[in-house]
Amino acid sequence: MAAAPGNAHAPSGMRVMYWVWLWLLALTLFEVFLAYERVPLHIMLICLLGMSVVKAALIVAYFMHLKFERLNLVLTLIPAMVCTILLLNVFFPDSIRLGQMAIYR
């Protein structure tokens, strides 16, 4: 199946979408499996965070079609992600402090 001459996106058939969906399903099932196994907490958290990043990359690349976009558009998302992570680092200690204050009341 050839792409139309004016089409900006590369041809992506349903076969690719099914493979991505199957990988997302497999990663999700493995995450659920890890939740029921007796794995040390730090190892489980590292595995879960790593698989979540892989799942997010698959979703952004294929289902949000950013794999086929220009590099400039993709690079605009990186500063927003860094800013969000920095803001989370600012607010997390305050939320922990407020949670501890509620315990002692």
Domain ranges of the chain: 1-69, 70-105
pTM: predicted TM-score of the whole model, two decimal places: 0.60
- Confidence at residue 25, expressed as pLDDT on a 0 to 100 scale: 96
- Confidence at residue 22, expressed as pLDDT on a 0 to 100 scale: 96
- Confidence at residue 32, expressed as pLDDT on a 0 to 100 scale: 93
- Confidence at residue 30, expressed as pLDDT on a 0 to 100 scale: 94
- Confidence at residue 5, expressed as pLDDT on a 0 to 100 scale: 54
Residues of the chain with pLDDT under 70: 1-12, 103-105
> CA torsion 87→81→59→69, rounded to 10°?
160
